[in-house]
Chains A and B, each alone.
Chain A
Amino acid sequence: MADITAPAYRIIPIVPALKPGAMEGKGPFVASDKINEAIGFPGQLVEDWHDKAIAKMGDLLSKYRSLKVYMDACVHCGACSDKCHYFIGTQDPKNMPVARQDLMRSVYRRYFTLPGKLFPKLVGARDLTREVLDEWYNYFNQCSECRRCSVFCPYGIDTAEVTMAAREILDSVGYGQKYSNEIIGKVHKIGNNLGLPGPALRDTLEGLEEDVKDATGIDVKFPMDVKGAEVLLITPSADFFAEPHIDSLIGYAKVFHATGTSWTLSSMSSEAGNFGMFIGNYDQLRTIAMRIRQAALELGVKRIVVGECGHAWRVAYSFWNTLNGVGDGADADDKFAQMLQKQLDHRYKQPMHICEFTWDAIQAGTLTFDKTKNDKHIITFHDSCNVARGSRMGDYAGGQFEIPRNIIKACANNFVEMDPRTTREQTFCCGGGGGLLTDDLLDLRVKGALPRMEVLQQVKDEQGVNFMATICAICKAQFTKVLPIYGFERKMVGGVHQLVSNAIILGEDK
Chain B
Amino acid sequence: MASIVFGVVFYLATLLFVVGLLYRIKTYASTPAPLKIPTTPAPITKGGVVLRMAREVLFFESLFKANLWIWSAGWLFHAGLALVTLRHLRYFTEPVWGWIAFMQPFGIYAGIAMLMGLCGLWARRLFVERIRYISTPSDHLMLVLLIGITGTGLLMQFVAHTDVIAVKGFFIGLMHLNILMLPADLLLIVHLSLVVSLLVVFPFSKLLHAPGVFFSPTRNQTDNPREKRHLSDWAAKLESEK
A residues lining the B interface (CB < 8 Å): 15, 17-18, 20, 61-66, 68-70, 72-83, 93, 96, 98-99, 102, 113-115, 121-124, 147, 150-158, 161, 282-283, 286, 317-319, 321-322, 325, 327-331, 334, 336-337, 349-351, 388-392, 396-398, 400-401, 425-426
Contacts and interface: CB of A to CB of B under 8 A. Distances in A.
A68 B27 contact: yes
Interface string B206-242: 1011001101111100010111111100110011001
Nearest to A81: B130
A277 to B, nearest CB: 9
Contacts of A65: 28, 31-33, 215, 217
A392 B36 CA distance: 12
A68 B28 contact: yes
24 contacts: A17-B129, A68-B27, A77-B63, A78-B128, A79-B62, A79-B66, A80-B66, A81-B131, A83-B66, A93-B130, A102-B134, A123-B136, A151-B62, A153-B66, A156-B218, A319-B35, A321-B230, A327-B226, A328-B228, A331-B229, A389-B40, A397-B41, A397-B223, A401-B41
Contact of A156 (B130, B216, B242): B216
B74 interface: yes
The 5 closest A-B pairs by CB, nearest first: A73-B212, A124-B136, A152-B66, A156-B218, A79-B66
Contacts of B130: 15, 18, 78, 81-82, 93, 96
Contacts of A400: 40-41
B97 interface: no
B206 A156 contact: no
Contacts of B238: 283, 286
B140 to A, nearest CB: 10
A122 B138 contact: yes
Contact of A391 (B33, B40, B216): B40
B157 interface: no
Nearest to A102: B134
Contact of A123 (B27, B62, B138, B235): B138
Q: Which of A113, A319, A321, A388 has the most CB of B within 10 A?
A: A321
B134 A157 contact: no
B213 A152 contact: no
A322 B226 contact: no
A73 B40 contact: no
B178 interface: no
Given A155-B219, A389-B39, A78 B67 contact: yes
A75 B209 contact: yes
Nearest to B223: A392
A73 B209 contact: yes
Contacts of B41: 392, 397-398, 400-401, 425
A317 to B, nearest CB: 6
Contacts of B47: none
Q: Which of A66, A102, A154, A155 has the most CB of B within 10 A?
A: A154
B40 A74 contact: no
A79 B70 contact: yes
Nearest to A83: B66
Contacts of A78: 67, 70, 124, 128, 130-131, 134
Contacts of A330: 229
A18 to B, nearest CB: 6
A76 B37 contact: no
A75 B31 contact: no
A124 to B, nearest CB: 4
A69 B215 contact: yes
Interface of B: 24, 27-28, 31-37, 39-44, 48, 56, 60, 62-63, 65-67, 70, 74, 121, 124, 128-131, 133-139, 141, 204-206, 208-209, 212-213, 215-219, 223, 225-231, 234-235, 238-239, 242
A98 B62 CA distance: 15
B37 A390 contact: yes
Contact of A98 (B39, B134, B226): B134
A76 B206 contact: yes
A158 B219 CA distance: 10
Nearest to A424: B41
Contact of B44 (A69, A390, A397): A397
Contacts of B137: 121-124
B41 to A, nearest CB: 4
A65 B232 CA distance: 11
B39 A156 contact: yes
Contact of A114 (B27, B74, B204, B208): B204
A118 to B, nearest CB: 10
A401 B40 CA distance: 11
A152 B71 CA distance: 11
A470 B157 CA distance: 61
A287 to B, nearest CB: 10
Contacts of A388: 40
Contacts of A114: 204
Contacts of A80: 66
A322 B39 contact: no
B204 A158 contact: no
A283 B234 CA distance: 12
Q: Which of A17, A61, A153, A401 has the most CB of B within 10 A?
A: A153
A18 B128 CA distance: 11
Q: Which of A156, A157, A336, A398 has the most CB of B within 10 A?
A: A156
Given A74-B206, A121-B137, A396-B44, A69 B226 contact: no
A337 B206 contact: no
Given A152-B65, A152-B67, A154-B62, 11 more contacts: A72-B206, A72-B209, A76-B206, A122-B141, A155-B219, A156-B213, A322-B229, A327-B225, A327-B229, A328-B228, A392-B40
A282 to B, nearest CB: 7
A152 B63 contact: yes
A426 B218 CA distance: 15
